[in-house]
Amino acid sequence: MSSKQEAASEGIPAAEAPAKRPPLNKYALACAVLASMNSILLGYDISVMSGAQLFMKQDLKISDTKIEILAGIINIYSLVGSLAAGRTSDWIGRRYTMVLAAAIFFTGAIVMGLAPSYAVLMLGRFVAGVGVGYALMIAPVYTAEVAPTSARGLLTSFPEVFINTGILLGYVSNYAFHGLPVHLSWRVMFLVGAVPPVFLALGVLAMPESPRWLVMQGRIGDARRVLAKTSDSPAEAEERLADIKRAIGIPEGVGDGDDDDVVVVVPRKNHRGTHGEGVWRDLLIRPTPPVRRILIACLGLQFFQQASGIDSVVLYSPRVFEKAGLRSDNNSLGATMAVGASKTLFILVATFFLDRVGRRPLLLTSAGGMVVSLVTLASALRAIDRLPEGQATPLAGVSIAAVLAFVSSFSIGMGPIAWVYSSEIFPLRLRAQGCALGTAMNRVMSGAVTMSFISLYKAITLAGSFYLYAGIAAAGWLFMFFFLPETRGQSLEDTEKLFGGGDSQSQDKEDGNDVQKSTATELTGSQQ
């Protein structure tokens, strides 16, 4: 029996893209771009610190340890935003959560740029970190909920595209302002970061709200209008609406008329309300086996994305290049710009192939390339360590090429797909908080890696650090190979089946009598 027939016999839809791809929905594309631009904030903040730290250290007379903490602590601070974003986005909506993220980051950038001392700078990092946490969690969730199935992989990868764009802009800012007086250069680098949030907040206000959130609030008419604009066909729009209503627990026939603008819904108990009530219990205390496996898949993927060392390379690449033989600030910052350009360019490879070849092939190719490039970098740095200090060697070119290969490999798979995959696999009622947990794992690991890198390489050398990251990346390859099913071509309401979940439609029929008694659905709005 073929794998497709086996999947069908188990009630799992075959994971394949449509035979003929419909043209890209321009309205959904515009929504995805505007939402994903929030991710520029994270990329800019990470990369601008790589150059700013060189001048900050001189100006504020702070140690490597304080620099290490300052660079990485924003990832820990972002936990506040990422964990709060799940409940916030269920309460006030996906769109206004993005506006909130931009406003918080704007405040943090101003505080950092004007900070007179290390303590105030740390306060600015905290405020900016909360904004980063909000932006990092909400952009993939909103995009996944707006995107049609045929282009969900492409559109949901956009947050990573803009993270990389932010990284490149941060490196450009480092290079552009490094010639200013020491006490001004790093401040200007941070203050420039306050400009994008203003335009992002205004752009987000022009976007529609997520149709899934609208249905959760009973705003069926509004959701229908958004789906009509973001789907590939009217039939798909109605099918998506029916799937969302079924997932939330709204009985069939409710809100089906064109005049049903608002439906007041008190969902049945297994849907836990429309503002996220009881979700943490369903995720962490009493998860079903499929939900437990989904949570492990999300947390594991986010763990390996960061534990393999990408933020250490992005944040401390000037130090790596200095070790490889690039001594001047101009040369090392120039090479660092090449890192940002490579990372941004190769993300386009992932966006092009995500909906064509699937998530798994790109993830496995990405992790394999990361292992090879990390081993090559570590071996080159180990050989350089054995040479006399300052001796020119072709190994410097090998080191730079290995760094470029590493960030390129990361960008074609692990970078974008961790966010795409995490936003796809959770059931609707658990999606916001489930993605928030994944974001929290991502930020904890990023903070742990970046705050320990200087101490780590002083203890086991740069070469030893990158050998360690290579081992972690290899373990990640095994995890993805054995644990992650393909999600290409699945609707968001069907992905739970890939992890052993039941058919929500069958469950609705089974609970039909209870639904009619306990849902307490009333039609209001234009019908009254």
Return the higher-pLDDT residue of 29 and 276. Answer: 29
Asked whether the beta carbons of 146 and 211 are under 8 A apart, the reply is yes
H/E stretch holding 471 reads helix 428-483
The SS3 call for residue 144 is: helix
Kindly provide the b/e burial profile for residues 280-313, where b requires at least 16 CB atoms within 10 angstroms of the residue's own CB: bebbeeebeebbebbbebbbbbbbbbbbbbbbbb
Q: What is the mean pLDDT of residues 433-441?
A: 85
Whether 527 shows a pLDDT value over 50: the answer reads: no
**Closest to 437 (Cα-Cα) out of 112, 163, 86:** 86
Q: What is the pTM of this model?
A: 0.67
Q: CA-CA distance, 139 to 122, in Å (whole number)?
A: 26
Tally of residues, the chain: 528
| Strand pairing class (522-524; 262-264) | antiparallel
Query: Which residues does residue 444 pair with via DSSP β-bridges, in sequence order?
Result: none
Asked whether the beta carbons of 259 and 176 are under 8 A apart, the reply is no
**Closest to 226 (Cα-Cα) out of 238, 200, 24, 492:** 238
Contacting residues for 449 by C-beta, under 8 A, at least 6 apart: 72, 306, 307, 309, 311, 312
Return the higher-pLDDT residue of 434 and 371. Answer: 371
Give the model's pLDDT for residue 273: 47
Backbone angles phi, psi at 64, to 5 degrees: -60, -35
Q: CA-CA distance, 63 to 256, in Å (whole number)?
A: 64
Q: CA-CA distance, 420 to 426, in Å (whole number)?
A: 11
Cα–Cα distances in Å, from 518 out to 201, 245, 249, 269?
40, 16, 10, 8
Return the higher-pLDDT residue of 328 and 126. Answer: 126
For 225, counting Cβ atoms within 10 Å of its Cβ (0-12 exposed, 13-18 middle, 19+ buried), the class is middle
Give the model's pLDDT for residue 169: 87
Give the model's pLDDT for residue 520: 36
Question: Which residue type occupies 521?
Answer: T
Q: Tens digits of per-residue pLDDT, 180-200? A: 898 888 999 999 989 888 888
Give the model's pLDDT for residue 63: 84
Q: What is the DSSP string of 199-210?
A: HHHHHHHTSPPP
Whether 483 shows a pLDDT value over 80: the answer reads: yes
Whether 382 shows a pLDDT value over 80: the answer reads: yes
